[in-house]
Structure 1
Amino acid sequence: MTTQRKALVLAAVPALILSTVLAGPAAGTPTQPVDVALEWYDVTANTIAAAGAPTQVTNNRTWAIGWLAAGRALTRSAAAATPYKEAALAAAVHETLVTLAPARKTQLDEALATTLGRIPDGADETAGAAAGRQQAKALLASRANDGLDPAAVNAPFSPPSTSPGVWQPTPPTYSPGTQYGNRVAKPFLLKAADQFRPGPPPALGSPRYNRDLAEVRADGALASTTRTQAQTDTAQFWYGSSYVLYTEPLRVAVAEAVRRPLAERVKLVALFHVASVDTQIATSDTKYAYQRWRPVTALRATVDAQWTPLHNTPAHPDYPSGHTTYSGSAEQVLTALVGPRTAKPYTIGSPTAPGVTRTYTDWRQLTAENVDARVWSGIHTRTADTVGATLGRAVAAHTIQNAYKLFR
């Protein structure tokens, strides 16, 4: 990038910040190479935390577009020099985020200026930035009106009946069903939302159904006498947003892959979120195809009119669990692209358990805890959880197998 063009990029940056960017480190201070993949990972995460959508799948879509655009720019210039690649990544993600989270334009412009300020001026920087922006604009255009905006995601849904087994709004808020519109949104790689739809949930009154309900009744009750403190702690930890809970594990994976080519690390982030979007579309398809009532509705209607779960029940059907479809998808992508275990233990926190951390050495344990947690929260049956994890893995495996279609 020429000095003149760089000046134009930096023009919007406040004077004090600009002087810091241009000044560089103080004399005598050792400098560490900046990992541009982690730099823009954090920019993306911080942008969505500050100005993201109220719907989880919309935020996964933002990641998918930005990092897929970057992946395309890098793949199509695989032999390009490092300045080209770093500029392409920064520009692709910047263009996407400025478009989809315009309230953060000032901060995003600052971040772009910081990255470009480290890259030597020249044709590689200029071409890389142009390629990144071009791929982002093309992908944004192709995903316009894909049905993943918040209003479309939460299209109105009215239960067709109040018959036993059919989902109904749940206490304490009795909110209308959410995520109904996901089922007709445009996937990235699925041929159709029902491509991996599992078979129906256990029939009412069947042995498996009765076992499921008895387990939730005992272990998921607010006043449970069978749930241990450790189980309560697990339920509390995993009650938060799957998107938030998995942002740090994915960052760990990107950091662990530091010795791999930048294009591979970018594709890891892109494919994680592409799989997540497609998984959530498949999840809503299954939920609203079967419309199975939640444990709280079933138990109050048939066993105990006062039964109350440990946690409030989300406003959509039981089967399958969205948390476990998300975790199954995440596990599959991370295992396929990074390996089943991490080189060293990693620690994550939870927005619903402030100050609490958990340490892991693989990805599968996160899924296992999600399966248990939704039962111990009293908000899902175990069958809904295990089927959900299987569905997520299947969609993610399809994403990995067809990834070449996204980058050609």
Structure 2
Amino acid sequence: MMFKNFSILIFSVCVFISCNTEQKPLSVTPDDYNNAVDKVTEVIIHDIFSPPVASRIYAYSNIAAYEVLAQNHPEYNSLAGKLNGLGETPKAENPAVNYDVAALIAQMEMAKSLIFSEDRITEVRDSLYKTWEDQNADELVASKAYGLQVADHIKSWMDGDNYKQTRTMPKFSVNADNPSRWQPTPPAYMDGIEPHWMKIRTFVLDSASQFKPVPPPAFSMEEGSEFHNQLMEVFNVRNEMTAKGDDSEEAAIAKFWDCNPYVSTHKGHLMFATKKITPGGHWIGIVKIATKKNNADLMETVYAYTKTSIALFDGFISCWDEKYRSNLIRPETLINQYIDDSWTPVLQTPPFPEYSSGHSVVSGAAAEVLTEIYGDNFQFDDDTETAYGLPVRSFDSFRAASSEAALSRLYGGIHYRAAIDEGLKQGRQVGQYIVSNLHMKNDGEALSHSGN
């Protein structure tokens, strides 16, 4: 009897060990993907990429992931033939491929190739590889091979976007003889950032100038002129905010949407960079908030990131095309020259021309895409800036958030009214064009949502 019970025990142990050494299917959750995108944002901040360049990092890495997943989700369309110059994505030939794993691998590989601090992505990737290898080595090998194959396909397409060529183009020349033209601003007096960004290939727009805004008001320092009135509005709003104190609603809005990765702080003879999220990074954070609130699965999550990052990318190209065409001087420069040499804006002025407002353009574009996906009454609490010591702000819709983001530039003292209003209009035109022309779902783009 004792021998029989012992045999049963040995058999049970063997079955237990056998079951637990058996390879398990690998899985990737929406949170895994959110964490991967968060890591990209972290590296963008660490490496201090400019807002336009940051939008490129988000876009290509998300597109790579999307192209993998779309092969396994017939309700979603490949972006081949839909984005300018993108050819057909390779199909997976190995039936052992796990598309979710391959998508995350493609995203990480693209991100790693686009940033400086590659080790920060590599560390996360290698940790995942170790976990996956222990669970199912065969599935990992097949998925890794396919993910890297798609990443190579996207890299090959990306190489034709003219980015590399713009790295060796001349710096922006300041025209100091023309009082209306942009000049570097304090405290760092940096050169104009990305003066050739309009030469980058767009994704969906026909050209950088497709949604060229109306020109800004004609430069004039004559009292009563439209331009002078808008300059004085910036000056007066700042003074009114000073009278209200640092805890005013206007100051809170300005600081919440600052998103300037070039903020410099002086300590004695030294200057330090205060690293912050970019405008695009803020909207990528809003995508995370929306997908989590909607309990999105992995495919929907990647879809929302991808379409929003495409809108941000084309929005920056459209905006930068106008910035270096109109080449308009910033309010801070004129106020210091003509009105009050001790005046400073609430926010540090970014290093590029004034018109149109970049925040306004990309916020308008992103909001249109997110409104298409989740509806016009999607209430959300934006905690994107809590990492920088700022409180949560709540919005009744993406468009309401984009309007506040645009207005924040007036409260910040860095844009005239025209750049804000026309920039928001410009961005919404970009976003609406993408909504109308980039069809990524077979059954219409809108998803059921829980935002009401």
Taking structure 1 as the reference length, what is the TM-score of the superposition? Answer: 0.80
CA displacement at 1:266 relative to structure 2: 1.6
- Match in the other structure for 1:86: 100
- Match in the other structure for 2:426: 391
- Match in the other structure for 2:356: 320
- Match in the other structure for 2:262: none
Q: C-alpha offsets along residues 342-362 of structure 1, whole Å, 9 cap, x if unaligned?
A: 3x6424142795152223342
CA displacement at 1:154 relative to structure 2: 9.0
For 2:56, which of 54, 61, 71 is the aligned residue? Answer: 61
- Match in the other structure for 1:43: 36
Matching residue's letter, 2:253: T
- Match in the other structure for 1:12: none
CA displacement at 1:365 relative to structure 2: 2.5
Find the residue that maps to 2:146 and give its secondary structure. Answer: helix
CA 1:68/1:233 → structure 2, altered by over 3 Å: closer, same or farther?
Answer: same
CA displacement at 1:110 relative to structure 2: 1.4
CA displacement at 1:153 relative to structure 2: 9.6
CA displacement at 1:248 relative to structure 2: 2.3
4+ long deviations beyond 6 Å: 80-83, 120-123
- Match in the other structure for 2:148: 133
CA 1:159/1:108 → structure 2, altered by over 3 Å: closer, same or farther?
Answer: same
Any conservation in 2 of the 1:236–1:352 contact (CA below 8 Å)?
A: no
Find the residue that maps to 1:163 and give its secondary structure. Answer: coil
CA displacement at 1:211 relative to structure 2: 3.0
- Match in the other structure for 1:210: 228
CA 1:155/1:268 → structure 2, altered by over 3 Å: closer, same or farther?
Answer: farther
- Match in the other structure for 2:215: 200
Percentage identity across aligned positions? 24
CA displacement at 1:133 relative to structure 2: 2.4
Paired residues for 1:232-243 under 5 Å: 232-240=251-259, 241-243=278-280
CA displacement at 1:78 relative to structure 2: 2.4
- Match in the other structure for 1:179: 194
- Match in the other structure for 1:340: 376
Matching residue's letter, 2:237: D
Find the residue that maps to 1:346 and give its secondary structure. Answer: strand
Is 1:377 the counterpart of 2:412 in the alignment?
A: yes
Q: C-alpha offsets along residues 164-205 of structure 1, whole Å, 9 cap, x if unaligned?
A: 321112233322211212121222222211111111001234
Counterparts of 1:221 and 1:330 in 2: how far apart (Å)? 32
Counterparts of 2:129 and 2:430 in 1: how far apart (Å)? 34
CA 1:393/1:113 → structure 2, altered by over 3 Å: closer, same or farther?
Answer: farther
Counterparts of 1:150 and 1:243 in 2: how far apart (Å)? 23
Counterparts of 1:53 and 1:82 in 2: how far apart (Å)? 39
- Match in the other structure for 2:126: 109
Q: C-alpha offsets along residues 258-310 of structure 1, whole Å, 9 cap, x if unaligned?
A: 356x4343221111111111111111110011011111122234433443222
Any conservation in 2 of the 1:90–1:115 contact (CA below 8 Å)?
A: no
Structure of greater Rg: 2
Counterparts of 2:141 and 2:313 in 1: how far apart (Å)? 32
Q: C-alpha offsets along residues 103-122 of structure 1, whole Å, 9 cap, x if unaligned?
A: 2313212134446766x677
Counterparts of 1:199 and 1:349 in 2: how far apart (Å)? 32
Any conservation in 2 of the 1:221–1:378 contact (CA below 8 Å)?
A: no
For 1:77, which of 72, 78, 81 is the aligned residue? Answer: 72
CA 1:117/1:189 → structure 2, altered by over 3 Å: closer, same or farther?
Answer: farther
Counterparts of 1:61 and 1:193 in 2: how far apart (Å)? 15
Moved more, 367-376 or 52-61: 52-61
CA displacement at 1:43 relative to structure 2: 1.4
- Match in the other structure for 1:331: 367
Paired residues for 1:228-377 under 5 Å: 229-240=248-259, 241-259=278-296, 262-342=298-378, 345-350=380-385, 354-377=389-412
CA displacement at 1:378 relative to structure 2: 1.0
Counterparts of 1:198 and 1:82 in 2: how far apart (Å)? 51
CA 1:168/1:352 → structure 2, altered by over 3 Å: closer, same or farther?
Answer: farther
CA 1:82/1:237 → structure 2, altered by over 3 Å: closer, same or farther?
Answer: farther
Q: C-alpha offsets along residues 107-165 of structure 1, whole Å, 9 cap, x if unaligned?
A: 212134446766x6777x76554433222110111112634469739951012343232
CA 1:164/1:192 → structure 2, altered by over 3 Å: closer, same or farther?
Answer: same
Counterparts of 1:34 and 1:361 in 2: how far apart (Å)? 34
Taking structure 2 as the reference length, what is the TM-score of the superposition? Answer: 0.73
Counterparts of 1:387 and 1:309 in 2: how far apart (Å)? 21
Matching residue's letter, 2:36: V
Structure 1 unaligned residues grouped into runs of 5+: 1-21, 24-32
Matching residue's letter, 1:369: E
Aligned length: 374
CA displacement at 1:57 relative to structure 2: 2.5
CA displacement at 1:394 relative to structure 2: 1.6
Find the residue that maps to 2:167 and give its secondary structure. Answer: helix
Counterparts of 2:138 and 2:289 in 1: how far apart (Å)? 33
Moved more, 346-355 or 377-386: 346-355
CA displacement at 1:404 relative to structure 2: 4.2
Any conservation in 2 of the 1:349–1:356 contact (CA below 8 Å)?
A: no
Moved more, 152-161 or 241-250: 152-161
